[in-house]
Amino acid sequence: MKFDRHRRLRSSKTMRNMVTETRITKEDLIYPIFVVERDNVKEEIPSMPGIYQLSLNILEEELKEAYDLGIRAIMFFGVPNEKDATGSGAYDHNGIIQEATRKAKAMYDDLLIVADTCLCEYTDHGHCGVINHETKDVDNDQSLTYLVKTAISQVEAGADIIAPSNMMDGFVTEIRQGLDDAGYENVPIMSYGIKYASSFFGPFRDAAESTPQFGDRKTYQMDPANRREAMRELESDLREGADMMIVKPALSFLDIIRDVRNHTNVPVVAYNVSGEYSMTKAAALQGWIDEEAVVMEQMISMKRAGADLIVTYFAKDICKYLDQQ
C-alpha cells in the first residue's frame, strides 16, 4: 500500500512524548494576585472561583504556596481604599502594589515581580488615564505623566518588569525615557500594546473593582475585529523600546499571537484573561468538562500559537498538574 503512516509516531505514550512539539513548564507561567488595602480580607471573587482578593497582612500565605509550587513570576493588581481623579494611589510610595512588592521581594529575592502599570484600579471614574472634562474622554498625553510616575514608583519598590496596560499612545517611549532618566535602564518593559476592548474582561473588573463609571474603553483599547492594527501597535512599541509584547485576551486571539510571533523575535506573552478562566471553571464545576485536560489544552494552544510566556489565573493548578505527570 502506498500512503504515509503518520500513526507510527503515535504508537505509545513514550513515543508521543518523544516527538511532542510543544510543552508547558512552570517557567512559562506568570500568576496574577489581587491585593486589597483593607486588613484581614480573603474573599473569593464570585465570578472567578478559586481566586481571591487578599489583604497585605495575609499575602504571605499565598506567596509561599505559589513559590513552593514552583511559580517564579507574580503580577500584582491593587485595590486601594481611596480613589481619585488622577489615580494617585498608583504612584504613591506607600501604595498597595508598592507594599505588596516589597513584601514579596523580602520573602523571595528570586521571585520576579511584574508590575501592571495602569490607573484604572485607582481612579474614581475607572478609566485607565485622566479625563479631559471637555471631551469626556481619556486625555492621552496628560495621562502619560502619571503613568511614568507610576512605573518609577513601582520599580523603586522592587518591581523587576514594568507591564503598562493602559493603551495610551506613546506609553512605551515615555515610560522608557522616564525609567532611563531615573537610572533604571536595565528594567524591561513588557508592553500590553496589543490589548483588545474585549468582553472577556468582565470578571477582572469585579476582582479589581475597576469598572468604568461612564462610557467604555473603546477609544483606547483595540477593536476585536482588527488584525492588521495589531501589527501597527507592535511596530510602534518595538520602535519605542518594548522588550516583550503581550497579546490580551489569548484564546480568541490566537491568530494575533501567531502574527506577532511571525513578525518579531522578542518574547511574546499571552494573557489568559479572567473571562476565559471563568468560563472554563464554570463548565468544570458543572461536571461538563475535564478541567485539567481542557486547561492544559488551552495552554498548549497558546504556546503552539507562538507565546513564550502565559499570564494565567490557572498557574497554581497547572503547577500541580505538572507535578502529577
Which DSSP string do the residues of 27-63 spell out, in sequence order?
A: GGEEEEEEEESSSS-EEE-TTSTT-EEEEGGGHHHHH
pLDDT in tens, 211-264: 666 555 677 788 999 999 999 999 999 999 999 999 999 999 999 999 999 999
DSSP per position, 257-306: HHHHHHH--S-EEEEE-HHHHHHHHHHHHTTSS-HHHHHHHHHHHHHHHT
Residue for grid cell 469626556: 136
In the chain, the domains with their CATH numbers are 22-324 (3.20.20.70)
pLDDT in tens, 152-196: 999 999 999 999 988 888 999 999 999 999 999 999 999 998 999
The answer to whether 150 touches 91, Cβ cutoff 8 Å, is: yes
Q: What whole-number distance in Å separates Cα of residue 261 and Cα of residue 268? A: 7
Q: Which amino acids are annotated catalytic?
A: 195, 248
The answer to whether 147 touches 168, Cβ cutoff 8 Å, is: yes
* Residue of 295, 297, 291 whose CA lies nearest to 312: 295
The whole-model pTM stands at 0.94
Candidate from 23-32, 139-148, 248-257, 283-292 with smallest mean pLDDT: 139-148
